[in-house]
């Protein structure tokens, strides 16, 4: 079987080893109020999932699932313990900073909106980018009218900042 289809974490766990903890970022854990709420909700969800599984942890599947949820719960709690809450309403609306929603136009005239958020909030599918991402790093500190270069592996692209918003 191709290694692409092997879940190595599960395979290692089946051999009696514990799941490896999820790595914690080396960067400060800046979060928006929405991000903090998402982490709290995730913690509550994991706790709710864990309780019934622990009662029937005799079968191998439940043991694996309990170990997985406990690992995720350790990660979420560590992230909650290190939260640095940044309220976007307190940021300067003149400059791109953490928590900003930025409207930009690329070299081809296409407009995009990106939201700069914490690492755990980032979701490229809805244009939420981590504050430590190359895109966010290229935008942070700039103002409306500035053109920045976003350095990407597939080639650099210029983005003109059209607008900056901060939403709670």
Q: Are 43 and 69 in contact (CB under 8 A)?
A: no
CA distance 120 to 132: 11
Note down the domain range covering 99: 88-166
Do residues 50 and 74 share a domain?
yes
Do residues 69 and 107 share a domain?
no
pLDDT of residue 12: 45
* Number of separate domains in the chain: 2
> Over the chain, what HEC string results?
CCHHHCCHHHHHHHCCCCCCCCCCCCCCEEECHHHHHHHHHHHHHHHHHHHHHHHCCCCHHHHHHHHHHHHHHHHHHHHHHCEEECCHHHCCCCECCCCEEEEEEECCCCEEEEEEECCCCCEHHHCEEECCCHHHHHHCCCECCCEEEECCCCCCEEEEEEEEEECC
pLDDT of residue 167: 76
- Residue 22 in tokens: 């999820």
Give the domain CATH number at 117. Answer: 3.10.50.30
pLDDT of residue 93: 84
Do residues 119 and 160 share a domain?
yes
- Max alpha carbon distance in the chain (Å)? 62
- Does residue 38 sit within a domain? yes
- Does residue 161 sit within a domain? yes
Residue that finishes a domain, picked among 50, 85, 120: 85
Do residues 121 and 161 share a domain?
yes
Local confidence pLDDT in tens for the 168 residues of the chain: 344 444 444 444 444 457 899 999 999 999 999 999 999 999 999 999 998 887 775 676 788 888 999 999 999 999 999 999 999 888 888 999 999 999 999 999 999 999 999 999 999 999 999 999 999 999 999 999 999 999 999 999 999 999 999 976
Do residues 136 and 68 share a domain?
no
- Does residue 22 sit within a domain? no
- Residue 75 in tokens: 């990660």
Do residues 142 and 159 share a domain?
yes
- Does residue 5 sit within a domain? no
Do residues 113 and 60 share a domain?
no
């Amino acid at each position: 079987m191709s290694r692409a289809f092997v879940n190595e974490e599960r395979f290692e766990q089946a051999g009696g080893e514990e799941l490896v903890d999820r790595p914690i970022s080396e960067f400060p854990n800046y979060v928006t109020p929405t991000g903090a709420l998402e982490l709290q909700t995730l913690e509550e969800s994991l706790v709710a999932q864990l309780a019934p599984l622990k009662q029937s942890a005799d079968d191998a599947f439940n043991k694996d699932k309990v170990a997985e949820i406990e690992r995720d719960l350790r990660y979420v709690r560590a992230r909650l313990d290190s939260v640095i809450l940044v309220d976007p309403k307190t940021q300067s609306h003149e400059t791109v900073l953490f928590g900003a929603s930025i409207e930009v136009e690329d070299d081809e005239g296409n407009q995009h909106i990106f939201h700069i958020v914490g690492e755990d909030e980032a979701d490229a599918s809805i244009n939420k980018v981590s504050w430590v991402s190359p895109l966010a790093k290229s935008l942070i500190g700039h103002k409306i009218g500035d053109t920045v270069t976003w350095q990407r592996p597939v080639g650099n692209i210029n983005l003109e900042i059209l607008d900056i918003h901060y939403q709670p």
